[in-house]
Amino acid sequence: MKRRDVLKSMTALAAGSMFPAPAIWSEAKAQARNETLLLVSESGPNNLDIHGVGTNRPGYEVAWNCYDRLISHGTKTLENGVASYDRDKYTPELAEDWTVTDTAATFKLRKDATFHDGAPVTAKDVKWSFDRAVTVGGFPTFQMKAGSLEKPEQFVVVDDHTFRVDFIRKDKLTIPDIAVIVPSIFNSELMKKHATEKDPWAMDYAKANTAGGGAYKVAKWTPGTEVIYERNETWKGGPLPKIKRIVWRMVPSAGNRRALIERGDADISFDLPNKDFVELNQAGKVAVVSSPIGNGIQYIGMNVTKPPFDKLEVRQAVAYAIPYQKIMDAVMFGLAKPMFGAPQGAALSTAWPQPHGYVTDLAKAKALLAKAGLPNGFETTLSFDLGFAAVNEPLCVLVQESLAQIGIKATINKVPGSSWRAEMTKKEMPLISNFFSGWLDYPEYFFFWCYHGQNSLFNTMSYQNKEMDALIDAARKAAAEGDTAAYDKDVKGFVGKAFADVPRVPLFQPYLNAAMQKNVSGYRYWFHRQLDYRTLSKA
Amino acid sequence: MTALVATMRHARYVVSENPVTGLSFGLFLLIVLAALFGPFLVPHDPLASNTTMALQPPSAQFWFGTDQLGRDIFSRVVVATRLDFGIAVASVVLVFCMGGLAGVAAGFFGGWTDRIVGRIADTIMAFPLFVLAMGIVAALGNTVQNIVIATAIVNFPLYARVARAEANVRREAGFVEAARLSGNGEWRILVFQILPNVIPILVVQMSLTMGYAILNAAGLSFIGLGVRPPTPEWGIMVAEGAAFIVSGEWWIAFFPGLALMIAVFCFNLLGDGLRDIVDPRRRT
Amino acid sequence: MPTLILKRLVMTIPSLIGVVIVTFLLTRALPGDPAAYFAGPAASTEAIEQIRKSLGLDQPLPVQFVDYVQALVRGDLGTSLTTGQPVAAEIAARLPASAELTLLGLLVSMAIAVPLGILAATRPGSMIDHACRIVTTAGVSLPVFFTGLILVYVFYYLLGWAPAPLGRLGIFDSPPPTITGFYLIDSLLAGDGTTFMASLKQLALPALTLGIFALAPIARMTRASMLAVLSSDFVRTARACGLASYTVVVTYAFRNAMLPVITTLGMVFSFLLGANVLVEKVFAWPGIGSFAVEALIASDFAPVQGFVLTMAVLYVALNLAIDLLYGLIDPRARMDA
């Protein structure tokens, strides 16, 4: 009998630890809860420095909220009622005023702005930060170059509170590029203290420390686990944010992220599967905000240097064989903007992205294959980035199935996220499913990276065409000179050419979705697709 | 021959004495049948998508419901049996050949052979097994062959040790001495005298590792290193279906999970049962 | 005794060298190109080459290996590329989280499996015996990530009994002052009952998930060992002397039967450390398992090497401890080397 008692007490013990009593919130905790925001996402930052080597997307979020830029963007309301940044309106951040001429832009800095350690923000800090961005190489230097910001000599300290950027050429993208995350302003004195001979730009220090003057500072960072922010009480770059403390936890399981938001434990969650966003929205317990990702397209790319994709008819056959609507329904659950099936004879517009004229028409696809001399189809490999499997895997299975019906046997190749970039660089993959979006929301910017004959990394199709290059270059020139008529003609020209030659088949423009509790307000869509904490508040 | 008859009789005794072992033999038969004939019997094409019928709950038309792309889960679960069973069998056969032979040689010859095999086994044992399997698959690429190879490698020490111990006990046994005296070479003795005696105990081990092989493949699928889509495989179906549990589509993960559990369960119980048959201490 | 320890330690050296070599080769065979990964989305080919050079990846393999071993001798495990932190510091910070979880999982498992095994052994062949076998085997038959997700779904999402699966503590709890790194122990040492309960609640589901997975080997070993002991002479003598059945089973048989069970614990622990990798992913647990998976996926060599090496050392140390423990409990074992 006694043995049974032992057993009983053991199971009772196990049961006790299995079913803990529901948590009881104390008064103080309830108070803290109102001023604290809990974010959950799949992965967290790997580096807090926007100029760092390989800083990932969550790292952009830290840089955006913990550093200030000279200028920022205003707010507008999108068609669907979502608040968004305004591409065409600039607002002061560290600069209170600025003037732009044909040869230079001059910024007047705020006199009361300070860094987190109390040091005043001066033009010296701005120059040091710009110099760093164009010197360290890799992504930041590249991004600066996109706005013709290339040499330290371009950045001039006029006096303590006046900073000038001299143009090396006229470029419409220069001012937009000064408002992206890369030209964040660093505390140069603090950084110099941590610089060494081997590391003159204090890359090591900035990796794990925020040396800025932004609205938030990182109080604690445990890589892969959490980031805790405290509000900067002396921030001058805008109205003081409402949220005092932000806890950002990494929750790898998508199911758990949904459970957390549905049960009201988490305040905001990005990166849920589309299906969850649609269902959460319908259930109505939490608010779901969706906005199309600017200048972003999910596409099927064909490498034109890999036969038989060098043949136009084969590429058109693939474009006619893709099950567009099925993908919209079963993969995206309707939560995307279709980029296919433009009405016959519809005029091209200068908007980008815009739908092309291809639809699912297997008979036509078969005929085109026969015309290309491949009536029995061929074998190929369809690759995608495993890091984005939630969308890519079902999408590729549907494409694979549909291609099989016209005789194209595609084997699906899942490429681990770490190798995806390397594979893209090699330009060996014949057929891929991929997504690209540009920070700067201009068609010529997108085409310069994705279709231009300079054959950048994002021209995954290795597409090279003299006519196309001429049109893209002409559009960039027309934009800089403000020649709208020529610009419109050139943009319509390269869009039309991209659709006719079809080296890549646009599928849809995805949405950026965020699920949040109903008492959270002030969400804004940004081109960098990360969260801006400064406008958020919690009732 | 008489030994075989005695074993059969003992087997019948074990099964009658232990209904759980009987159950596991029955399940095993069912799995083998599904692996052999499954693809001919299923009501739907396991690969055909039908997006108008996506995410349907179990019904008369779709017994186990449908998945995100409208594929019939029942058909996929049944067809997957062949692949999963194949992975399990292939990996245990491979490790049986590698580990069993290496272990027998180590136990029989001793000396350097023993030391080398022992060191290899120790090295593998010092890795957390799943992490080693993960590393191998990540390095070699995520194909079925590599999953099989990885599973075989991580189980190597288990087989090598068991085989070594069994062979070591027998190397000076009477029948071995007799074979030696009648002029048989060492290798011949190893293959014809020692190996047959070690096989039964390894067969028990094989049954136990078959379950592990399937779980291993499932774990690899969960971190994205499983088989290629759209091939149906239980582990990847469970891993993908897991994302749908919270939203209420429980059947996507549940049925493949059930099939996987039954198979692993069956292999494990079978191993226990076989152990009872093989273990002479239980022969009375 | 000290010579025995020394002898055992010397014996482990070749396998540790093996682990270092295998890990190094394995991580270099990973398909990813860390240079391309860290060059970021918009890098040119030259930028990638520049980063490859700064990472030392342009050197031939033997040179890289020598560099690695030299650093290792200095106790430098390298720097994680994904998190930018020294690997040794990361592992030191994360190891307690994994160890606490795994040990608690092992305890939960033993608390269930040992009584079950004894129960089964006292009535071999009965329905209870079969039921024990079915229950424990069923536990090991489910992929551990699946068990974990189901537990979260039922106990957190549906019933709300368990706290949110957000790691070691809720967001409004602060960790106890670090002494051992085990929150349960540290909070008790600090006399902080609230934190103790909070971390126990967070631990409950993941530890149970691991525990369920380890039931079968422990129960099987307990049963077999109990059966052997119960049929031995001294138990028969004890019974013949008229001792109560309870006294015989618990006082005499149980103590003797535990010896082989303790030996298996080493193996079970290694088994759980592997399973831990998946459990940590499900419960957002800040342990070294999840750290290693992320690193492996990113082809981040240093953390993978550091993780495997730590695990190997841990495993060797644990087995050594078990051997010594065994020697303490059973004087006969001291004779064998």
Does residue C323 lie within any of the structural domains? yes
Does residue B270 lie within any of the structural domains? yes
Does residue C6 lie within any of the structural domains? no
Domain count, chain C: 1
Cα C306 from Cα C328, distance rounded (Å): 33
Query: Is the minimum CB–CB distance between C123 and chain B shorter than 8 Å?
Result: no
Does residue B1 lie within any of the structural domains? no
| A428, amino acid identity | E
CB within 8 Å: A254 and B243:
yes
Kindly identify which residue of chain B lies nearest to residue C312, measuring between CA atoms.
B126
Cα A445 from Cα A172, distance rounded (Å): 11
CB within 8 Å: A397 and B69:
yes
| A166, amino acid identity | D
CATH at C238: 1.10.3720.10
**pLDDT digits 0-9 by tens, A251-310:** 888 888 999 999 999 999 988 888 899 999 999 999 999 999 999 999 999 999 999 999
Neighbours of C149 (CB within 10 A): 28
CB within 8 Å: A47 and C80:
no
Give C-chain residues touching B126 at CB under 8 angstroms: 15-16, 18-19, 311-312, 315-316
SS3 of chain B: helix, strand, coil, percent, to 5:
75, 0, 20
- Give me the pLDDT at residue A29, please: 57
- Give me the pLDDT at residue A465, please: 93
How confident is residue B14, by pLDDT bands cut at 50, 70 and 90? low
Residue A506 is given by DSSP the state E
- Give me the pLDDT at residue A266, please: 93
Is residue C263 scored above 60 in pLDDT?
Answer: yes
Question: Which are the contacts of C161, defined by CB distance < 8 A and separation ≥ 6?
Answer: A18, A19, A20, A21, A22, C155
CB within 8 Å: B49 and A326:
yes
Give B-chain residues touching C277 at CB under 8 angstroms: 128, 130-131, 134
**pLDDT digits 0-9 by tens, B30-80:** 999 999 998 888 888 898 888 888 888 898 888 898 988 889 999 999 999
Q: Is the peptide bond before C331 cis (omega within 30 degrees of 0)?
A: no
CB within 8 Å: C311 and B260:
no
H/E element, A455: none
Residue B256 is given by DSSP the state H
- Of C102 and B224, more confident: C102
Does residue C220 lie within any of the structural domains? yes
> Contact, C50 vs C99, CB < 8 A?
no
Most confident of A191-195, B213-217, C152-156: A191-195
- Quote the crossing angle between the two packed helices A2-18 and C87-122, to the nearest 10°: 150
Cα A129 from Cα A449, distance rounded (Å): 26
Helices (H), C157-244: 183-189, 193-230, 233-240
**pLDDT digits 0-9 by tens, C25-43:** 888 877 667 777 666 555 6
How confident is residue C44, by pLDDT bands cut at 50, 70 and 90? low
Question: Which are the contacts of A268, defined by CB distance < 8 A and separation ≥ 6?
Answer: A37, A38, A39, A40, A261, A514, A515, A516, A517, A520, A523, A531, A536
Separation in Å, CA of B51 to nearest CA in chain A: 6
Sort strands A36-41 and A245-250 into parallel, antiparallel or unpaired: parallel
- Give me the pLDDT at residue C58, please: 79
> Span C78-86, mean pLDDT?
76
- Give me the pLDDT at residue A429, please: 94
Does residue B3 lie within any of the structural domains? no
> Contact, B144 vs B227, CB < 8 A?
yes
Domain of residue C178 covers 90-284+312-334
Is residue B3 scored above 70 in pLDDT?
Answer: no
Residues of chain A with pLDDT under 50: 1-26
Domain of residue B133 covers 8-45+54-282
* Most A-contacting residue of C45, C50, C83 (CB-CB within 10 A), to test interface: C83
The verdict on ipTM greater than 0.85 is no
Does residue C163 lie within any of the structural domains? yes
CB within 8 Å: A253 and C149:
yes
Domain count, chain B: 1
**pLDDT digits 0-9 by tens, B72-115:** 999 999 999 999 999 999 999 999 889 888 988 888 888 888 88
**pLDDT digits 0-9 by tens, A393-441:** 999 999 999 999 999 999 998 887 767 877 887 888 999 999 998 888 9
Mean pLDDT of chain B: 84
Neighbours of C89 (CB within 10 A): 12
- Give me the pLDDT at residue B80, please: 92
- Give me the pLDDT at residue A75, please: 94
CB within 8 Å: C142 and B127:
no
> Span B113-133, mean pLDDT?
85
Q: Residue B179 corresponds to which tokens in the numbers above?
A: 């074979």
Name the residue with tokens 């998190």. C83
Separation in Å, CA of B160 to nearest CA in chain A: 34
- Give me the pLDDT at residue B71, please: 92
- Give me the pLDDT at residue A16, please: 41
Is residue C176 scored above 80 in pLDDT?
Answer: yes
The percent of residues above 90 in pLDDT, for chain B, comes to 19
CATH at B160: 1.10.3720.10
Does residue C296 lie within any of the structural domains? no
CB within 8 Å: B123 and C15:
yes
Tell me which residue in B70, B243, B244 faces A330 most closely, judged by beta carbons: B70
